[in-house]
Amino acid sequence: MQSTKAENLDLFVNAQLQFKRALTWIDDLKAGIVDYLINPNRTIHVRFPIHMDDESIQTFHGFRVLHNRVRGPGKGGIRYHPDVTEAEVSALAAFMTWKTAVVDLPFGGGKGGIVCNPKELSRGELRRITRRFVTELGDAIGPYTDIPAPDVYTDQQTMAWIYDTFDMMHPGENNLAVVTGKPLDIGGSVGRNEATAKGSLFATQQLLKRGVVAGLPAVQDARVAIQGFGNAGGTAARLFYEDGARIVAVSDSQGGIGLDSGIDPNKVLAHKKKHGSVVGFPGCTDISNEELLAYDCDILIPAALECQIRADNANNVKARLIVEAANGPLTMAADENLQSKNILVLPDIVANSGGVVVSYFEWVQNLENQQWDLEKVEKLLKKRMTRAVDETVDRWTALDEKYRSGFNGSHSGPNLRDAALVTAIKRIATVVLQRDIWP
């Protein structure tokens, strides 16, 4: 990651800053547990050679970080990207620990990544890279150890290769639960592809229902801008549109489009499939990603990469609510800036947890040899997301009352991220103490 004089944009640094800020709201946590929770439990760095299509041999680097597993197996995606670093993967693994705890899943947090550019690799090369990576990890992953899932530039096919490789290494066992986000024909769950976006919608609906955003009682008629038009962002655009929102701006890696009267995301998706980008969609004004973040809207949904809203551009945000569909899209400085402007942020560990919730459903179905229907999956997803939002808002209210009574005058008061992290940290710390420390 890069850094500027204004702030450090390293995702791991920002993750630790968020954790330490949340700790200021907890006055009964032992110091030793703090040190244990803030750092990864295990980090694996592998280097392996691959035969490329042109008969050359290229060496690739891969990482798998298990941040914490006191509540259950590690859980988290594997991403393929040229900018993958150990620090980034470590931060994302920590986010997964808090995310699984805040939605009360029996998982810990993990994350993986391979340094590569999938756009420059053939299907055969990606298959060989995936299978070799799984072989290198060996028993570091497993249904009861650490369970991967799709992430940036990985998909159902990648998960199928992971499952098949692991299954061949462990014959005679039911290994379906080693990975989630698989194709339906080999143990995947209905509803998994839309789970992250649908969870974001359910979470936003419940947050607005609680009346915490003045003048914005529901998704219906809200003006929504979305950065990112992939699985999370593109699907969110369609789902929010179907729920009555007015989609006023969307973007992808090449740029964005804006139209105050509203955009039909289904037509934009067709345009993107034909032209490779949302840019140039008829009737809209082409805008940059920076302009999208500053677009006049009610709800801003960052659904792309991390550190998109920073100290140098947070002042430009005009939205009343930010829903973090991406992981770590705001820096710590941006968070504090937005709080001072009374712009509410629904944090990533709540807002985008729908994916891991349905991954949990897939894991359960695999272990029990069951197949649930879509109605059951969506009903249970909505229940989990609604409860997580309610618990976060209730915790936020309690922390605010504590702050107003004179506790912790060192900063401006709690926000929703503080509340969610306090809930997650307390749940994990409770299990650590209940299990006791052995030997």
Neighbours of 46 (CB within 10 A): 17
User: Contact, 232 vs 197, CB < 8 A?
Assistant: yes
Cα separation, 324 vs 345, in Å, equals 7
How big is the CA angle at 423 (ends 19 and 354), to the nearest 5 degrees?
95
- Say what the pLDDT of residue 437 is: 76
- Say what the pLDDT of residue 320 is: 98
Residues of the chain with pLDDT under 50: 1-4
- Say what the pLDDT of residue 204 is: 99
- Say what the pLDDT of residue 272 is: 97
Cα separation, 74 vs 160, in Å, equals 19
User: Contact, 130 vs 48, CB < 8 A?
Assistant: no
- Say what the pLDDT of residue 408 is: 64
Q: Which residues are catalytic?
A: 111
- Say what the pLDDT of residue 397 is: 96
Structure tokens belonging to residue 352: 């985008």
- Nearest-CA neighbor of 246 among 259, 257, 233? 259
Q: What domains appear along the chain, each with residue ranges and CATH number?
A: 40-174 (3.40.50.10860), 195-346 (3.40.50.720)
Q: Report pTM.
A: 0.94
- Say what the pLDDT of residue 35 is: 87
User: DSSP labels for 26-78?
Assistant: -SS--HHHHHHHHS-SEEEEEEEEEE-TTS-EEEEEEEEEEEE-TTSSEE--E
Structure tokens belonging to residue 296: 């006049």
Cα separation, 314 vs 306, in Å, equals 14
Neighbours of 42 (CB within 10 A): 15
Q: Are strands 74-75 and 78-81 parallel, antiparallel or unpaired?
A: unpaired
